[in-house]
Amino acid sequence: LARSIQRTAVRQAHHKHEPNFHDKYGNLVLLGGAAVSATVWTYIFTQLGIEWGLSPVGRVTPKEWRE
């Protein structure tokens, strides 16, 4: 049993690694997804007219003081 396992291990070690889908297209898919994401977020930030209320200056009015 040990010899057959050893032969199988040696055979697999000398076997050429065949590139799978991720080896061939992984980086391309990653870059494509990043480009689509950047495009969508750029559109959202620039075209939808969202008012980002990050600063309360000019928006907050003081209440009348009660004694």
Predicted local confidence at residue 23, as pLDDT: 87
Distances (CA, A) of 49 to 39, 40, 42: 16, 14, 12
Give domain limits for the chain: 19-46
> Does the model's pTM come out above 0.75?
no
Contact of 20 with 26, CB cutoff 8 Å: no
Dump pLDDT digits (tens) for 7-60: 777 766 666 778 888 888 999 999 999 999 999 999 988 887 666 666 666 666
Q: Which has the higher per-residue pLDDT, 4 or 39?
A: 39
